[in-house]
Amino acid sequence: MAIKSLDELRKIREASAKKVNLRETGNSSEDIIEVLIGMATCGIAAGARETLNTFIDEIDKKDIKNIRVIQVGCMGYCHSEPTVQVNIPGNSPVLYGNVDEKMAIDIIEKHILNNELLDENILIKTFEKA
């Protein structure tokens, strides 16, 4: 990709700085909900791929625009795979365990759209962002 102007270079720099900030601090200047899905071998063996696909399908069906689904590695809760972390701006991150396809739909309907926690599947809800 050839950069054709100084303005174009500045825009690329600004976009890259936002991505680095997100990686380093977990803070985003955007109003984006993040759904992190543990996709290590233990998660995949427990059905994380189906969970991931359900999240993507449901988000598409409901036409939710301000959400990002991110595949991550092991979250350290292999006994409760598939694990899913939900980061909603302004709220503490919530880590869910044993998230199958039905639970993924419940997380979208209740937690993400109605700000209602699903207590029975929460592993931890007060910690630093991944």
pLDDT of residue 65: 86
- Name residues whose C-beta falls within 8 Å of residue 14's C-beta, 6 or more positions apart in sequence: none
Mean pLDDT, residues 81-109 taken together:
94
> Cα separation of 36 and 57, whole Å?
15
pLDDT at 49 over 60: yes
> Cα separation of 108 and 117, whole Å?
10
> Cα separation of 89 and 97, whole Å?
21
Token pair listed for 123: 């592993």
> Cα separation of 80 and 3, whole Å?
47
